[in-house]
Amino acid sequence: MPQIIDFSKSAITSFSQSISTAIPAAPASYALTEFGLATAVGGNVLLSATVGVQTTLGTPNLLLTILRSGTPVFTLLATAPVTGQFDPLSLSYVDSNFPAGYFAYTLTISQVNSIASNSAILVGPVGFSGLSLV
């Protein structure tokens, strides 16, 4: 049976329509949230995130990236919903093959097809959590 080593979470907002922040064009990115997590040798970290976005123009493609102590470990490319629509993007990832220690996990977002006819904003919720198991 797995043993829980650590749990952490970070959220900038728990509600839809509670923020309005433009999503930057790549190569720039916006660091949404970050937390620290202890890990054990041979362990796994279950990471989960939800990011609420709303398209303001066109059909923007958004890149969500999870970094472990500054190194990308997972990316997700998602197309935002049609103009005016709200869509919570959700993702889960199991991080493994790392040394025992304490790591910072960061969630970032950027827009990869940043032409004048595509744009989206963060509207909430924005939450990120991690569960370290061995």
Write down the residue that tokens 């103009």 correspond to.
83
Q: Which domain holds residue 59?
A: 4-133
Per-residue pLDDT, averaged over 54-70, amounts to 95
Per-residue pLDDT, averaged over 75-86, amounts to 89
Q: What is the pLDDT of residue 72?
A: 97
pLDDT tens, residue by residue, 101-112: 999 999 999 999
In order of 28, 33, 47, 57, 128, the CA distances from 17 in angstroms are 24, 18, 24, 17, 18
Q: What span, in angstroms and rounded, lies between the C-alpha atoms of 131 and 96?
A: 12
Q: Are 37 and 128 in contact (CB under 8 A)?
A: no
CATH number at residue 39: 2.60.120.1340
Secondary structure letter of residue 14 according to DSSP: S
Q: What is the pLDDT of residue 37?
A: 97
Give how many domains the chain has, as a whole number: 1
Q: What is the pLDDT of residue 16?
A: 87
pLDDT tens, residue by residue, 36-50: 999 999 999 999 999
**Closest alpha carbon to 7 in 49, 65, 50, 46:** 46
Q: Residue 120's pLDDT band (boundaries 50, 70, 90)?
A: very high
Q: What is the pLDDT of residue 84?
A: 83
